[in-house]
Amino acid sequence: MKKNHSILFCPVAFFCLSIVFSCSPVKYIKPLDKNQHAATISFGGPLIKYGSATIPIPFLVGNYGYGIDSSLTGFASFNITSALFGNFQVELGATKQLLNQKKYIPAVSITPIANIIYRNKEAFKLYPQLAVNAFWEYGKQKNMVYIGLDNWFELAQKRAYEVKQSNHVIFMPTIGHSFTGKKWNFIIEGKIIAPNLSNEKLVVDYETPLKKHGALGVYLGYTRKF
C-alpha cells in the first residue's frame, strides 16, 4: 500500500535528505599541500525508490579548500541544490591529518564541520559534523582508498509539536576511492546513512543493503587543484 501513496512525498525526502546528507565527498580525506588551492564539484546522494525506479538524489555541492599547512586544510562548501530551494547552506570545516601512513597501516585524518542552513530568522539550523577517516595511498599516482565514519549531530531536543527528538547522532560508515592526477582528483564514494535507524514507517522508500535500516548513498566528486 505504501507505493500507492508514497510517490507523493518521495520528493520531500528526496530533497531534505539531499540537503542533510550532502556532506560527502566534498570534504578532504587527505589535506592539501601547504598553500595549495582546490575547487570541487560533487554530485550524488541517497538512493531511493521513485515510482518503479531506484535513483540517487541529484544534489550538487561546490567546495573550495586551502592548504593552511601540509597537515591542515580549511574548506567551505556551498550546497547548490539547497540554494535552489531558497536556503543558504554552507559547510565550514577543516581536515587535520593525525597519523601518516606506514606501509599497510593507514594514515588517519579528522574533519570537524559546521553545517549551517539558513532560510530566515525562524528557520535556521546548525548541524555539527565530525568525520574520521583512515586512508591508504598506493601506486605511482598515489591513488587512495579510504574508509571512515561520518557523524551528524542533531542538537535540538524537540521536534515539531514538542515531540522528543530521539536520535541525536546520525552516523554513516563510508568507503571511497580517489583517483589522483597531478592537478585533479576524482572521487567515488559510498556510504550507509544511519544504519542504526529504521527506514520503515516513513514517507519514502530508501534503498539499502540493510533492508529495513538506513539508506545507501552514492557520491561522485571532481577536484581541481591549483
Partner 1 sequence: MKKIIFLTLTVLSFTSCLRLDDNLFNPASIKITEYKLDNYTGDLDFRLDVTYQIPDSLIHIFQLSSQAADESKATNIYAIYIGNIDSISSDSVIMYCHGNRDHMDFYWERAKLLANTKTKNRFGVLMIDYRGFGLSEGKPTEKGLYADVDAALKWLKIKGLTNDRLIMYGFSLGSAPATKLSVGDYSMKPAKLLLEAPFASAEVMVQDASGLAMPGIFFTDLQINNAEEIKKVQQPFFWIHGEADDFLNIDTHGAIVYSHYNGIYKEANRIPNAGHGSIPETFGFQNYLNAVGDFITQH
Calculate the alpha carbon distances from 103 to 100, 107, 155 in Å.
10, 9, 39
Least distance to partner 1, CB of residue 35, Å: 17
Closest C-alpha to 93, from 69, 64, 70, 71? 64
Question: Smaller CB distance to partner 1: residue 42 or 97?
Answer: 42
Q: Give the x-and-dash track for 145-184 against partner 1 (CB under 8 A).
A: -------x-x-x-xxxx-x-x-x--x--------------
DSSP letters along 152-213, please?
Answer: EE---SB-GGG-B----EEEEEEEEEEEE-SSEEEEEEEEEEEEEEE--SSSS-B--TTSSE
Beta carbons of 135 and 144 less than 8 angstroms apart: yes
- Looking at residues 195 to 224 of the shown chain, list those that interact with partner 1 (rule: CB under 8 A): 197, 200-204
Question: Smaller CB distance to partner 1: residue 103 or 158?
Answer: 158
Cα(177)–Cα(95) distance, integer angstroms: 17
Least distance to partner 1, CB of residue 73, Å: 18
Question: Smaller CB distance to partner 1: residue 96 or 125?
Answer: 125
Residue ranges in contact with partner 1 by CB under 8 A: 1-2, 4-13, 15-17, 19-20, 62, 78, 80, 82-89, 117, 119-120, 122-123, 125, 127, 152, 154, 156, 158-161, 163, 165, 167, 170, 194, 197, 200-204
